[in-house]
Structure 1
Amino acid sequence: MIQITYVEHNGRAHVVDVPQGATVMEGARDNGIPGIEADCGGACSCATCHAYIDPAWVGKLPAKQPMEKDMLDFAHEPDPARSRLTCQIRVSEALEGLVLHMPERQA
């Protein structure tokens, strides 16, 4: 299990263990984390799993693929450097300690 910290827009942090191979979105959904709606279930077609990656982690994640970049245009207040769709981030040992922040609302 990989420990990930999800921080709600109000600052409340949720530290949860997420299995390797799952997505960061699945970790939020399966642990009842508020702020990740995941309406499309992880198909990269809705932008409701948008989150801001903590600045210390931005350069440690795999690059955004073209489809994710396109979908982020539909996210609420996307940040070109920090916004990611959590359905597109696969959990691995390299993500141990990942911190991400929820937007005020989803798209």
Structure 2
Amino acid sequence: KAMPDPSGAQLAALRAHLRSHPHIRFVFYSYSCMALPMRPEPWQYVAHSWYDVAVCRYQLASLATLFLSCSVLILLDPPYLTRFWPQYECFLAMQRASSSGLLGYLTA
């Protein structure tokens, strides 16, 4: 996987947010918390074990529940807007679950 924060800017922003919100006890940072397989270069071959693939599938299936049930801090940078998964996570974070399905926070 490519390092998402080589300059440390996201880590600095996260630390500042946690300092100003001391009630937050746990942080889920997808890069370091999920068993996502690395994306190989076209010339590379990467073999993933059945366990790695199973864990990744389980985590991806549970991702919606995580983003629908927790507070989410979005660390927005230019690459964020070009990638599908961060935008999907953002969409989920801006919804709330109801008995009739997902509702946007602005839905009356």
**TM-score, normalising length: structure 2:** 0.30
Structure with greater proportional strand content: 1
Larger Rg: 2
Normalized against structure 1, the TM-score is what?
0.30
Q: Which has the higher helix share?
A: 2
